[in-house]
A and B are shown apart, each in its own frame.
Chain A
Amino acid sequence: MEMDLAAVFDRPKRLWHSLTGGGLAVVEGESKPMRSVRGRKLPVAIRNALTEGSTLDAHKTRGGFWWATAPSLGLQSQVRLVAWAASDDNWGDILQVWTDMLAFAKGEHAVADRLTEALVNAWDRLTFLYELTHIVGQLTDLPDMLNSIVHLLAEVVSAEEVFLITGVEADWTSVTVSGDSLSLPPSIAEEIFRARRPVGLAELKPALEKAENPLAQAGDLLVAPLMSGDRPSGMIGLLDPHEARFDSNDVLLLASVAEQVGALIEAAQARIIREESRRLDHELKIAAGIQSGLLPDSLPSIKGLELAAYLQPARQVGGDLYDVAESETGESMLLLADVAGKGSPAAILSTVVRSVFRSEAPHSSDPGELLQGMNRLLYPDLDKAETFVTAVSVNLKSDSLGFSYASAGHVDIAIWRDHEQNVEFFPATGLPLGIYPKTSYYSQLLALHPGDTLLLYSDGATEAEDPKGAILGMQGLSDIIYAVHPAPVEEQIRVILESLDVHCHSQSLSDDVTLLMIRALPVSDVPVETIPFVIPTEFLAVRKVVDIVRGLGSALPIPDQDERMKLMEDFALAISEVVTNQIKHAFQGRKGQILGRVVVETDRLVADLYDSGLPFQLPEIPWEPIDINNPPESGYGLVLVRGLLDKFECHRLDGVRNHWHLVKEFAGGDMQ
Chain B
Amino acid sequence: MKIEIEHPQPGKVVVRAQGRLDSDSAPAFKEQIRDVAQTELDFVVLDLEAVDFIDSSGLSALLSALKAIRQQGGMLNLCKLQPQVLTALRLTLLDRVFSIFPSVEDALSEADLQIP
A542-B96 contact given A573-B55, A640-B56, CB 8 Å threshold = no
From A542, A628, A640, contact of B24 by CB (8 A): A542
Q: Chain A interface secondary structure, helix, strand, loop or mixed?
A: helix
Q: Are B87 and A569 in contact (CB under 8 A)?
A: yes
A542 with B92: CB separation less than 8 A: no
Chain B residues closer than 8 Å to A539, beta-carbon distance:
22-24
Asked whether A633 and B96 contact (CB < 8 A) given A542-B22, A573-B84, A576-B22, the answer is no
Any A CB within 8 A of the CB of B57: yes
* Interface SS of chain B: helix
Q: Is the CB of A631 within 8 A of B63?
A: yes
Query: In the assembly, what is the distance between CA of A625 and CA of B92, in Å?
Result: 9
A580 contacts B by Cβ under 8 Å:
yes
The 0/1 profile, CB within 8 Å of B marked 1, for residues 559-572 of chain A is 00000011001101
Q: Does A455 contact B (CB under 8 A)?
A: no
Q: Which residues of B contact A566 (CB under 8 A)?
A: 83, 87
B53 within 8 A of A: yes
Interface contact A636-B84, CB-CB below 8 Å? no
Q: Which residues of chain B are near A634, meaning CB under 8 Å?
A: 56, 60
Shortest distance from the beta carbon of B31 to any chain A beta carbon, whole Å = 15
Bound CA span A307–B50, Å? 44
Please report the C-alpha to C-alpha distance between residue A580 and residue B22 in the assembled complex, in whole angstroms.
9
Whether the Cβ atoms of B56 and A626 lie closer than 8 Å is no
Please indicate the chain B residues that have their CB under 8 angstroms from the CB of A632 in the complex: 63
With A570-B87, A628-B97, A640-B88 in contact, is A543–B20 under 8 Å at CB?
A: yes
One digit per residue, 1 when the CB lies within 8 angstroms of any chain B CB and 0 when it does not, for chain A 53-89 equals 0000000000000000000000000000000000000
Binary CB contact string for chain A from 540 to 551 against chain B (1 if under 8 A, 0 otherwise): 101100100000
**B56 and A543 within 8 A (CB):** no
Q: A569-B84, A643-B91 are in contact. Are A636 and B56 (CB under 8 A)?
A: yes
Of B24, B57, B88, B92, which is within 8 A of A543 by CB?
B24
In the bound complex, CA of A123 to CA of B93 (Å): 91
Cα A580 to Cα B53 in complex, Å, equals: 14
Please state if B24 and A540 are interface contacts (CB–CB under 8 Å). yes
- Give the residue name and chain of the A residue nearest to B54 (CB): A573
Chain A residues lying within 8 Å of B88, measured Cβ to Cβ, are: 573, 640
The answer on a CB contact under 8 Å between B55 and A576 is yes
Instruction: For B83, list chain A residues within 8 Å (CB).
Output: 565-566, 569
**Which chain A residues lie closer than 8 Å to B53 at the CB level?**
546, 572-573, 576
Confirm or deny: B80 has a beta carbon within 8 angstroms of a beta carbon on chain A: no
The answer to whether A573 and B87 have CB atoms under 8 Å apart is: yes
CA distance A111 to B71 in the complex (A): 91
Q: Could you tell me the distance in whole angstroms from the C-beta of A643 to the nearest C-beta in chain B? A: 4
Rounded to whole angstroms, the CA-CA distance of A633 and B92 in the bound complex is: 12
Q: Closest residue to A629 on the B side, CB-wise?
A: B97
> Whole-angstrom distance from the CB of B76 to the nearest CB of chain A?
13
Instruction: Pick the residue among A540, A625, A639 that contacts B91 (CB under 8 A).
Output: A639
B13 within 8 A of A: no
User: Is B67 interfacial (CB-CB < 8 Å)?
Assistant: yes
- Whether A254 sits at the interface, judged by CB under 8 Å, is no
Question: Are A631 and B22 in contact, CB atoms less than 8 angstroms apart?
Answer: no
List residues of chain A with CB within 8 A of the CB of B23.
539, 542, 580, 583-584
* Contact of A95 with B by CB under 8 A: no
What does the 1/0 interface line of B6-49 toward A look like (CB < 8 Å)? 00000000000000101110000000000000000000000000
Residues of A within 8 A of B97 (CB): 626, 628, 631
B59's nearest neighbour on chain A, judged by CB, is: A636
Give the B interface residue count (CB, 8 A).
23
Within 8 Å by CB of B93, from A543, A570, A625, A637, lies A625
Asked whether any CB of chain B lies closer than 8 Å to the CB of A577, the reply is: yes
Residue A644 at the chain B interface, CB threshold 8 Å = yes
Residue of A nearest to B61 (CB): A633
| Cα of A565 to Cα of B83 in the assembled complex, Å | 10
User: Roughly how many angstroms separate A583 CA and B23 CA in the complex, as a whole number?
Assistant: 10
Contacting residues, chain B, for A543 (C-beta < 8 A): 20, 22, 24
Given contacts A542-B22, A626-B93, contact A580 B60 (CB under 8 A): no
Contact A640 B91 (CB under 8 A): yes
Q: Are B22 and A626 in contact (CB under 8 A)?
A: no
CB contacts under 8 Å to A, within B74-107, are 83-84, 87-88, 91-94, 96-97
> Does B63 contact A633, Cβ atoms closer than 8 Å?
yes
Chain A residues whose C-beta falls within 8 Å of the C-beta of B60 in the assembled complex? 633-634, 636
**Closest Cβ neighbor of B64 among chain A residues:** A633
Within 629-652 of A, Cβ neighbours of B (below 8 Å) are at 631-637, 639-640, 643-644
Most B CB within 10 A of own CB, among A566, A632, A634: A634
Query: Across the interface, which residues of B come within 8 angstroms of A570, CB to CB?
Result: 87
The CA-CA distance from A584 to B53 in the complex, in Å, is 19
Q: Tell me whether B94 and A640 are in contact (CB under 8 A).
A: no
> Do residues B57 and A631 form an inter-chain contact, with CB atoms below 8 A?
no
A577-B94 contact, Cβ under 8 Å, with A543-B22, A633-B63: no
**Which residues of the other chain, A, contact B22 by a CB distance below 8 angstroms?**
539, 542-543, 576, 580
Closest chain-A Cβ to B60's Cβ sits at a distance in Å of: 5
Determine the distance from Cα of A538 to Cα of B25 in the docked complex, in whole angstroms.
Answer: 12
Residues 416-444 of A at the B interface (beta carbon under 8 Å): none
Distance between A318 CB and nearest chain B CB, rounded to angstroms: 37
Residue in chain B with minimal CB distance to A583? B23
Chain B, Cβ-Cβ closest to A625:
B93
Q: State in angstroms the CA–CA spacing of A640 and B93 once bound together.
A: 10
Q: Which of A565, A572, A576, A636 contacts B92 (CB 8 A)?
A: A636
List CB contacts (< 8 Å) of A320-341 with chain B. Answer: none
Q: How far is the CB of B59 from chain A (nearest CB, A)?
A: 5
Asked whether, in the complex, the Cβ of B92 is within 8 Å of the Cβ of A640, the reply is yes
A428 to B23, CA, bound (A): 47
- Distance between A665 CB and nearest chain B CB, rounded to angstroms: 17
3 shortest A-B CB distances, which residue pairs? A643-B91, A539-B24, A637-B56
Contacts A542-B24, A636-B56, A644-B91 supplied; 16 other A-B pairs, CB < 8 Å: A539-B23, A539-B24, A540-B24, A542-B22, A542-B23, A543-B22, A543-B24, A572-B53, A573-B87, A576-B55, A577-B55, A580-B57, A628-B97, A631-B63, A639-B92, A643-B92
**What would 12 A/B residue contacts be, using CB atoms closer than 8 Å?**
A539-B24, A543-B22, A566-B87, A573-B84, A573-B87, A576-B53, A626-B92, A626-B94, A632-B63, A633-B63, A636-B92, A640-B56
